[in-house]
Amino acid sequence: AKPSPIAVATWNFQNATKMAGSMLYEGASALDAVEKGVMVEEGNLKNTTVGNGGAPDRDGNVTLDACIMSPDGNAGSVVYLKEIEHPVSVARKVMEETPHVMLAGEGALQFAIQQGFKRKNLLTENSEKAWKEWLKEKEYRPIINIENHDTIGMLCIDEKGDIAGACTTSGLAYKMNGRVGDSPIIGAGLYLDNEVGGAVATGMGEAVMKSVGSFLIVELMRQGNSPQEACEEAINRIVKQNKNHKEFQVAFVALNKAGEIGSYCIHKGFTYAKYQEGESSNNTSPSYMI
């Protein structure tokens, strides 16, 4: 049976799921809802892990990664994009206006400008201060649960029962210049199949990429696993594949076409936001490590 429209997102990004969810109940497509939903966090200056105000790399560059996927199986992505506040919207333009799926760096910026996006300095005073503080020690140590907010990955089902997804991030703080994570990689940070459902990831992108985590979860759901079982299997594989898994966080959220949600992570502390039928909630994910 077709579920009532639903928006789910990584972390306690309820402002984003409320935005997307209320659009869905006004008849918006899942694709429009995920884009507008994640844009809330891209524009949130207090969030130092997505969009404007995102933490820079080691050299002080704010470089953004984002992707979007539509129910028809089409996808768009941008990586290492500088100076554009809403990379998800550029990713959507890549999907809709070019024969390509992914644009990187200079070329992505050039394309964004051609499409009418405005350049903007995304390094806020606070992020610059924190980076300069970090430079004193230069210790690269990913933080497990960053103040309950991190990369936003979102999945929506609309009135028609179609599913769309988006994922957007400034990547790991103080990453190497040039580093790209899982978030803009179709199959890693996001994957969906309109016959089955979708999945999104947050946390240590390297581990998600090596497991092609979101694609794996969708395939496991296709084979009959619940979203919860599929997320648990993906985390179990990441645990097996990475001896140092105690040192980093990975979390997945999955949504199937019946509107069932699953979520699992390595370390406790991960939550996901949900909006359905006028109700907004933040939900605690079970974890591999107790």
- One DSSP character per residue, 10-31 reads EBT-HHHHHHHHHHHHTT--HH
The correct pick among 54, 76, 203, 213 for binding ligand SD4 (CB under 6 A) is 203
CA 178, 180, 183: angle at the middle one, nearest 5? 160
Closest distance of CB 92 from ligand SD4, Å: 19
With CB under 6 A as the contact rule, which of the stretches 16-24, 131-139, 199-207, 210-218 interacts with ligand SD4? 199-207
What's the order of all strands across the beta sheet hosting 190-193?
190-193, 197-203, 250-256, 261-265
- In terms of CB distance, is 29 or 252 closer to ligand SD4? 252
C-alpha 182 chain-centroid distance: 9
The correct pick among 52, 194, 202, 214 for binding ligand SD4 (CB under 6 A) is 202
Show contacts with ligand SD4 in window 152-171 (CB under 6 A): 169, 171
Q: Does 150 bind ligand SD4 (CB under 6 A)?
A: yes
Q: Does 181 bind ligand SD4 (CB under 6 A)?
A: yes
Closest distance of CB 204 from ligand SD4, Å: 6
- One DSSP character per residue, 36-85 reads HHHHHHHT-TT-TTSSTT----TTS---EEEEEE-TTS-EEEEEEE-S-S
The 222-261 site mask, x for binding ligand SD4 (CB under 6 A), equals ----------------------------------------
Q: Does 151 bind ligand SD4 (CB under 6 A)?
A: yes
Choose the catalytic residue: 10, 63, 151, 271: 151
Tokens of 221: 């759901």
Q: Does 54 bind ligand SD4 (CB under 6 A)?
A: no
The β-bridge partners of 280 are: 275
The β-bridge partners of 78 are: 66, 103
| 48 in catalytic set | no
Closest C-alpha among 268, 272, 269 to residue 288:
268
- In terms of CB distance, is 24 or 207 closer to ligand SD4? 207
- In terms of CB distance, is 23 or 172 closer to ligand SD4? 172
Longest dimension (CA), the chain: 57
C-alpha 106 chain-centroid distance: 22
Closest C-alpha among 18, 21, 22, 30 to residue 163:
30
The 103-142 site mask, x for binding ligand SD4 (CB under 6 A), equals ----------------------------------------
The correct pick among 87, 205, 227, 262 for binding ligand SD4 (CB under 6 A) is 205
Q: How far apart are CA 132 and CA 114, in angstroms?
A: 33
Which residues would be at the binding site for ligand SD4 (CB under 6 A)?
150-151, 169, 171-172, 181-183, 202-205
By annotation, the residues acting in catalysis are 151
